Copies of this chain bind each other. A is one copy, B any other.
Amino acid sequence: MSALREVVRPTTIIEAPRLSHKLGIKLFIASETFQYTGSFKFRAAYNLAANVKADQIITASSGNFGQAVAYACRMLGKSCIIVMPSTSAQVKVDAVREYGGQVDLVDVKQISRADRVEALAREHPEAYVASAYDDPLVIDGNASLAAELMALNRPIDAVIAPVGGGGLTSGLVKGFADAGSGIEVVGAEPLLANDAARSFRAGRLVCNETEPPTIADGARTVSLGDYNWAILKEGLRQIVEVPDEAIKEGVRLLFSLANLKAEPTGALSIGAVLTAPEMFRDRSVCCVVSGGNVDPTVYGEIIRDA
């Protein structure tokens, strides 16, 4: 892990007194928006790419994980193929390519991304097929954020982080638990994609029927991963189900009271405080802003409603 901590950019700690006051909590923000490739995913991607024997990585990601794998592979002198829907925004395709990744565009009406990854894996039997969340190397990579937060030596009652596939929250839970820390981890999940909350209520892994239509595109996963669920069902303190309106309000508050550009998924933690204020009132809370990559049109529409 020490090697990883020397490579990743330290998380950016942001004090925002006005936002803290507005939310009624003792807030600080751990922003991963200035991490390499603009999201926490680089922690996972680098840890994975550095620790697998394969010199090539294949993954399906139209978002932050694809960019992170591309950049990590470039840094490590490895290659990668990132499978993306042919309908992906050009800026996302460009980003992966600029970071050195090979983009494989698929018409998802003809072939699913998973099937395309499988076909590529047969073509490249030496390659490692990577999941963005359901992999111990991903979880360990994300645990590096927990180590950084503990090293701050400041009082933290709870850390709130977004839940999609569960990679980040399981990394935080594992990181704190391995160090014997009592810091609570609270998940912030879009209400429209609440498979994790439903899994907790059911006591077993529950899947969404289809990709959920939440604005938090980093949390449009169909379910938690198996590795993630095994950790979260034991160690996650609570999940707050955040309506899309509260996610957008989180984006706006980060803009206006913290000068922070966050992608909607990144604002889930603030949205969770807005949704369940009594859970956090007057407590020392670290809101993780997981990433900042958002289309300018989408972002402009959200902040225009301020």
Question: Cβ of A18 < 8 Å from any Cβ of B?
Answer: yes
Interface status of A112 (Cβ within 8 A of chain B): no
CB distance from A17 to the nearest CB of B (A): 8
Whether the Cβ atoms of B296 and A304 lie closer than 8 Å is yes
Q: Contacts A98-B18, A296-B303: A91 and B261 contacting too (C-beta < 8 A)?
A: no
**Given A21-B98, A33-B259, A98-B18, A299–B303 Cβ distance below 8 Å?**
yes
Tell whether A260 is near chain B: CB-to-CB under 8 Å.
yes
A296 to B256, CA, bound (A): 8
A54 to chain B, nearest CB (A): 25
A22 to nearest B CB, angstroms? 9
Q: Does chain B have a CB within 8 A of A300? A: yes
A38 on the interface (CB 8 Å rule)? yes
Which of A15, A296, A301 has the most chain B CB within a 10 Å cutoff?
A296
Tell me which of A18, A21, A258, A301 has the highest count of chain B C-beta atoms within 10 A of its own C-beta: A18
Contact B300 A304 (CB under 8 A): yes
Q: A264 in the interface, Cβ–Cβ < 8 Å?
A: no
Cβ–Cβ < 8 Å partners of A297 in chain B: 304
A95 at the binding interface (Cβ < 8 Å): yes
**Min CB distance, A106 to chain B, in Å?**
25
- The reply to whether B98 and A293 form a contact with Cβ atoms under 8 Å apart is no
Q: How far is the CA of A67 from the CA of B115 in the complex (A)?
A: 56
Interfacial chain B residues near A192, Cβ < 8 Å:
none
A128 sits at the interface (CB 8 A): no
* B9 contacts A12, C-beta separation under 8 Å: no
Residues of B within 8 A of A205 (CB): none
Cβ–Cβ contact B256 & A91, under 8 A: yes
Give residues 52-87 of A contacting B (CB, 8 Å).
Answer: none
A12, B304: Cα distance in complex, Å: 27
User: Nearest Cβ in chain B — how far from A75, in angstroms?
Assistant: 10
Q: Flag whether A207 is at the interface (Cβ < 8 A).
A: no
Of residues 98 through 128 on chain A, the ones whose CB sits less than 8 Å from some CB of chain B are: 98-99
Residue of B nearest to A260 (CB): B261
* Residues of chain B lying within 8 A (CB to CB) of residue A12: 12, 34
A14: interface (CB < 8 Å): yes
* Other A-B pairs, 16, CB within 8 Å; known A9-B15, A15-B36: A12-B12, A15-B34, A17-B36, A33-B259, A34-B259, A91-B256, A252-B296, A255-B296, A256-B296, A259-B261, A261-B261, A296-B304, A296-B306, A297-B304, A300-B300, A300-B301
| Interface residues, chain A, with chain B CB atoms under 8 Å away | 9, 12, 14-15, 17-18, 21, 33-34, 36, 38, 91, 95, 98-99, 252, 255-256, 258-261, 292-293, 296-297, 299-301, 303-304, 306
